[in-house]
Amino acid sequence: SYELTQPPSVSVSPGQTARITCSGDTLSKQYAYWYQQRPGQAPVLVIYKDSERPSGIPERFSGSSSGTTVTLTIGGVQAEDEADYYCQSGDSSATYLVFGNGTKVTVL
Amino acid sequence: QVQLVQSGTEVKKPGASVKVACKASGYTLTSYNLYWVRQAPGQRLEWMGWINPGNGNTKYSQKFQGRVTITRDTSASTVYMEVSSLRSEDTAVYYCARGKIDYYYGMDVWGQGTTVTVSS
């Protein structure tokens, strides 16, 4: 089985940069995906294949990868970015998937 | 537009089964796997399994193997997820989501979620 570990919370002031890490052995070989989940809503894909941004996702969302850690960066944080963020990965064929424990981003 | 619309809230007793539906529209059903993800109150997202609607192939998380069954009705563009032998720990919001079959680009469209409450 795979495990992905995220910090429980990150706090950031409006206009500043938020960085959320996700660590796990599988990340050195497999891609990571990031989802934003606002309270009471379904998740939304914000980054795929470590650093690609789906259409419609603001440019302030970016992703990077180094070894067994991937990072979601939100530049110029806005109040609407306050949400839970989950990383996700899996095996080589994406047959078996796993989510991280989630990070709550609070905009001060 | 592309949509996944799920069936409504369910309340079940322990030991019962529940079947949640996910109706797809706005795209070719057989081009995407349908995934099921659940979220217990205050907890993380948890992957349960997926189905290839074209050929009916399924994969399940080891945690749910034997207790969860995912099926499809292509004529109705609908995928179903059934959980048997329900217990209180199965109280959660259940989501369906799609992902490309030929190459995984993440789950790009999600249903609105179905709340399942298990209580005596």
pLDDT digits (tens, 9 = 90+) for B28-56: 999 999 999 999 999 999 999 999 999 99
pLDDT for residue A1: 62
pLDDT digits (tens, 9 = 90+) for A17-41: 999 999 999 999 999 999 999 999 9
* A42 to chain B, closest Cα gap in Å: 6
- Write a three-state SS string for chain B: CCEEEECCCEEECCCCCEEEEEEEECCCHHHEEEEEEEECCCCCCEEEEEECCCCCCEEECCCCCCCEEEEEEHHHCEEEEEECCCCHHHCEEEEEEEEECCCCCCCCEECCCEEEEECC
pLDDT for residue A79: 97
pLDDT digits (tens, 9 = 90+) for A36-95: 999 999 999 999 999 999 999 999 999 999 999 999 999 999 999 999 999 999 987 878
Cβ–Cβ contact B97 with A under 8 A: yes
pLDDT for residue B71: 98
Q: What is the mean pLDDT of residues B76-94?
A: 97
Considering only CB atoms, B106 lies closest to which of A45, A93, A102, namely: A45
CB within 8 Å: A49 and B105: yes
